[in-house]
A and B are shown apart, each in its own frame.
Chain A
């Protein structure tokens, strides 16, 4: 059974960098789009971006200048960095396993609050 688990600071100061890591267990990393999705409190889901097993990445145009997604296959982990965080980035951040057909496994989510 594939499992994903997010980890990282729950509180980030404005203008600082939001960093999260997703640990993947129970499955291999090749051929999937390892994806980050977020959900502001009381709002809908927003696709942030992915890293493919070969290291290729893509991200939401609205976040592209601030987002870096990377992969460490030796540790079965992938990571998200979002620079210049603001209150608008406060959300539950989910990591998920992506395929062209959709996202079939999700982490439980990690709430990140941007506040001083």
Chain B
């Protein structure tokens, strides 16, 4: 099972919006809506920010949103803040009770 493909880095200025893509295949991202996204600050454990491609846990800001089209999922963050600077990982269910992560994207808030 190959890792999902994410850009290595994205950046934006405070108040702007950014999007992070997560490209998979018709066997994982394209096959199920079971795509999740995780935010990881340095030295900390990842935290779930989006699940089932578009749903947001109640504790997560509504500035975070998710979408999916075909074999590609995306995480969007609006109204960028300094505290959004972190690494972001996508994860997809790939069938047969297997999960696969993306390589991660470093978000820099300029």
Residues of chain A at the chain B interface (Cβ within 8 Å): 33, 35, 37, 44-47, 50, 58, 60-61, 94, 98, 100-104, 106-109
CB distance from A48 to the nearest CB of B (A): 10
CB <8 Å contact, A44 and B103: yes
A-contact 0/1 string along B46-89, CB 8 Å cutoff: 11100110010100000000000000000000000000000001
Q: Which residue, of A35, A37, A98, has the highest number of chain B Cβ atoms within 10 A? A: A37
Contact B57–A104 (Cβ < 8 Å): yes
The answer to whether B51 touches A101 (Cβ under 8 A) is yes
Interface positions of B (Cβ within 8 A of A) = 1, 3, 34, 36, 38, 44-48, 51-52, 55, 57, 89, 91, 93, 96-104
- Judged by DSSP, the binding face of A is strand
Report the number of A-B residue pairs with Cβ-Cβ less than 8 Å: 60
Cβ contacts under 8 Å, A102 to chain B: 34, 36, 48, 51-52, 91
- Top 5 nearest A-B pairs by Cβ distance? A102-B36, A44-B104, A106-B45, A101-B51, A102-B51
- Given A44-B3, A102-B51, A102-B91, A94 contacting B101 (CB threshold 8 A): no
Given A44-B89, A47-B100, A102-B51, residue A107 in contact with residue B36 (CB < 8 A): no
CB distance from A112 to the nearest CB of B (A): 15
Most buried by A among B34, B45, B102: B45
